[in-house]
Amino acid sequence: MSRALNFNAGPASLPFAALQRAHEELLDFEGSGMSVMEHSHRGKVYEKVHHEALALVAKHLGLSKDWDVLFVQGGASQAFAQIPLNLLEQGKVADYVVTGAWGEKAVSEARACKTMGAGEVHVAASTEKDKSYVRVPQQSELKLTSAAAYLHCTSNETIHGVQYGLDASTPFPRSGSGDVPVVVDMSSDILSRRVDASQFGLIYAGAQKNIGPSGVTIVAIKKDLVARGRKDLPAIFQYRTHADNQSLYNTPPTFGIYLVRNVLAWVESQGGIASIEARNDKKAAVLYDAIEGSGGFYRCPVDEACRSKMNVVWRLPSPELEDAFVKEAEAQRMIGLKGHRSVGGIRASLYNAVEPAWVDTLASFMKDFAKKRG
Amino acid sequence: MSRALNFNAGPASLPFAALQRAHEELLDFEGSGMSVMEHSHRGKVYEKVHHEALALVAKHLGLSKDWDVLFVQGGASQAFAQIPLNLLEQGKVADYVVTGAWGEKAVSEARACKTMGAGEVHVAASTEKDKSYVRVPQQSELKLTSAAAYLHCTSNETIHGVQYGLDASTPFPRSGSGDVPVVVDMSSDILSRRVDASQFGLIYAGAQKNIGPSGVTIVAIKKDLVARGRKDLPAIFQYRTHADNQSLYNTPPTFGIYLVRNVLAWVESQGGIASIEARNDKKAAVLYDAIEGSGGFYRCPVDEACRSKMNVVWRLPSPELEDAFVKEAEAQRMIGLKGHRSVGGIRASLYNAVEPAWVDTLASFMKDFAKKRG
């Protein structure tokens, strides 16, 4: 078997070591005569895995004791609603910074929570320009609400390829006051780089890009925010419930969490997040160099300071050339390079598990393709 | 490797053939050079699995074209809230029949939806007696609301071992009118037996007992109910959203759904639900015979007509003997026999994947244990 060069945007490539471990253990987990997914979530065998996974998330995010880590379900899509349900009380306003399609969705779902007893949503800034997003806003552009419930932002926009916090010129947004937590959707760049978690109050992410299969959602939330959350919701929607029960209130997606454990054990074996970051930096540099070195044949629409290291997006001179590019790449086993249907173009997702060698292959394919068709 | 005799209540034993297939395909799905969980949910390779799984659920539930099958997340625990959010409009009342702990939870979560714009909850019947449930009610005992939003019941109570519809004397409850749909939580007995789906409007179940790993929730819902659902909810909570998008609105738990496919393909290979039912009937008979034939050493508290074929619960003369029973059984690799912590005693879950030979072994262990300690 030879591995495909998987540039999918998510679900995405997983570290082969994590998959191999799952393969070895699938039918008989630790000599128990059962698959890990056949174990009770209330039994010692699974609980060990569960707590190891929770601890690895906390460790690699660099969380203090003031935080809870939760494994919940529904993806970031459900978190778009669950966060305002918990934290946006009636009479309050939540500020949203929109830097792409996922920020738009977060706003839309938060607004729909009003009929469920939530407060108002205010767009503090949007960098939309003709349905395209090519940058993050500066702090001075934000129109913040005083005493907001929270300030929401998207760390990395998977579709538009725009990322926050790449250097000192694009810092994450700050709220108006220490009482107003910053809530960040890190679905597509969680644990891909070192980030100072202390600037946030809540970090959430679907697992299916950097840390596991789809079906597990990570919510890291400061304990004071858990306590502040609405108490008149069904128990299942309250973050309090999952914090109080160490994410074992109801049956969690046990096999998904087991795989998160495997993936984060691999992160550990690679030397932790600093090493992962260095590896990701190099991969992104190879690809952006290939774009910039193409004499204009490839063109990345995103402002240089905000170009995502996770999702590199670019255009070719015509949609026909883009189709040919995707097709020829696929013939060479490079998978997942078609841009999102809403924006077109090309996209290569370079999540943690994407091998540097795959990116090298892609870059040299790009060079050949440009020479042939440019 | 020898398989443990897994009597877990859920997550539970899976058909070994379904696990073996997953094992064979885990690292390289259909020659793609990727695991199925690394495939995009928008790609042809995964979509084929997805639609096959949806079709198998519909086929084995015997659903007409009037139904939609959805794969969602959050387990039955989330459905307890999501159903009233969708179907219990303000000013309306939903009737609940409570026959155990899960029915209680469903009521409690539905009541909490009031602050989210839902209507009122009415307990039409409860067979609770001193915190214990030993039967289902007769239709004549139900105090139905006229023009209710729906009537909710629990097909099988996993903790109390009480099941509906085992014979003509314990039929599923009927609502007062054809306009009032019956909503049934089938988490612990879905696809374990033939059931006439046409008596229901909505059937839901967490997958982790009879049809897959945890993390996948099946909702089968009549199309007219989908259309009737509230439109002012966040999109993610509307069943409409998932029906309109064939459960691909957001990233579904792809690997879990793949395993559901494997499990239902196994059901198919066994001759379908009729064969599965016959196998389950025999397993339950072996165990209840062991209880009844023990001269009173083992005692099942549930009324004979309602004794669950999925979760067989029984007591021994003392808690000390129960502890010893669980311990000695475990030493012989019989796993998961401790009753739920809220009720104590012994429980053996006999879901579809539990092998008849395991039940025979348990029954003969019971005989030996009774002889030694009785």
The reply to whether A39 and A60 lie within a common domain is yes
The reply to whether B106 and B226 lie within a common domain is yes
Is the per-residue pLDDT at B37 higher than 70?
Answer: yes
Is B281 a known active-site residue?
Answer: no
Structurally, how many domains does chain B consist of?
2
Residues of B in contact with A255 (CB under 8 A): 213-215, 255-256
pLDDT tens digits, B115-141 = 999 999 999 999 998 778 999 999 999
Domain membership of residue A53 (yes or no) is: yes
Distance from CA of B183 to the nearest CA of A (A): 19
Last residue of a domain, one of B268, B303, B338: B268
Domain membership of residue B3 (yes or no) is: no
Last residue of a domain, one of B223, B251, B268: B268
Distance from CA of B296 to the nearest CA of A (A): 30
To the nearest 10°, the Cα dihedral for B234, B240, B246, B249?
-10
pLDDT at B1: 67
The reply to whether B165 and B304 lie within a common domain is no
The reply to whether B284 and B249 lie within a common domain is no
Contact B214 A255 (CB under 8 A): yes
Using CA atoms, how far apart are residues A299 and A294, in angstroms rounded to an integer? 8
The reply to whether B205 and B279 lie within a common domain is no
One-letter amino acid of B312: V
DSSP-assigned letter for residue B115: G
Using CA atoms, how far apart are residues A15 and A268, in angstroms rounded to an integer? 12
Domain membership of residue B8 (yes or no) is: no
pLDDT tens digits, A130-153 = 778 999 999 999 999 999 999 999
Is B67 a known active-site residue?
Answer: no
The reply to whether A239 and A339 lie within a common domain is no
The reply to whether B229 and B285 lie within a common domain is no
pLDDT tens digits, B251-263 = 999 999 999 999 9
| Domain enclosing residue A84, as ranges | 17-268
Residues of A in contact with B41 (CB under 8 A): 11, 214
Among residues B284, B267, B265, B287, the alpha carbon closest in space to that of B276 is found at B267
The reply to whether A182 and A262 lie within a common domain is yes
What is the average pLDDT value for chain B, to the nearest integer? 97
What is the average pLDDT value for chain A, to the nearest integer? 97
Domain membership of residue B6 (yes or no) is: no
The reply to whether B181 and B250 lie within a common domain is yes
pLDDT tens digits, A14-69 = 999 999 999 999 999 999 999 999 999 999 999 999 999 999 999 999 999 999 99
Using CA atoms, how far apart are residues B327 and B345, in angstroms rounded to an integer? 13
- Assess A155–B contact: CB distance below 8 Å, yes or no: no
Domain membership of residue A303 (yes or no) is: yes
- Assess B3–A contact: CB distance below 8 Å, yes or no: yes
CATH code of the domain in which A163 resides: 3.40.640.10
Last residue of a domain, one of A248, A268, A288: A268
pLDDT at B374: 85
Domain membership of residue B22 (yes or no) is: yes
pLDDT band for position A345 (50/70/90)? very high
To the nearest 10°, the Cα dihedral for A41, A45, A49, A52?
110
pLDDT at B148: 98
Using CA atoms, how far apart are residues A95 and A111, in angstroms rounded to an integer? 11
The reply to whether A345 and A244 lie within a common domain is no
Give per-residue burial for B29-48: e unless 16+ CB within 10 Å, then b.
beebbbbbbbbbbbbebbee
With H, G, I as helix, E, B as strand and everything else as coil, classify residue A156: strand
Mean pLDDT of B172-184: 95
Query: Please, what sign has the CA dihedral across residues B133, B137, B143, B145?
Result: positive
Residues of A in contact with B252 (CB under 8 A): 214-215
Supply the residues of A annotated as catalytic: 102, 185, 209
Contact B4 A74 (CB under 8 A): no
Domain membership of residue B4 (yes or no) is: no
The reply to whether B118 and B257 lie within a common domain is yes
3-state secondary structure B33-90: CCCHHHCCCCCHHHHHHHHHHHHHHHHHHCCCCCEEEEEECCHHHHHHHHHHHHHCEC
Tokens of A199: 């600037």
CATH code of the domain in which B342 resides: 3.90.1150.10
The reply to whether B301 and B369 lie within a common domain is yes
Domain membership of residue B258 (yes or no) is: yes
Contact A73 B73 (CB under 8 A): yes
> For chain B, what percent of residues have pLDDT higher than 90?
97
pLDDT tens digits, A222-243 = 999 999 999 999 999 999 999 9
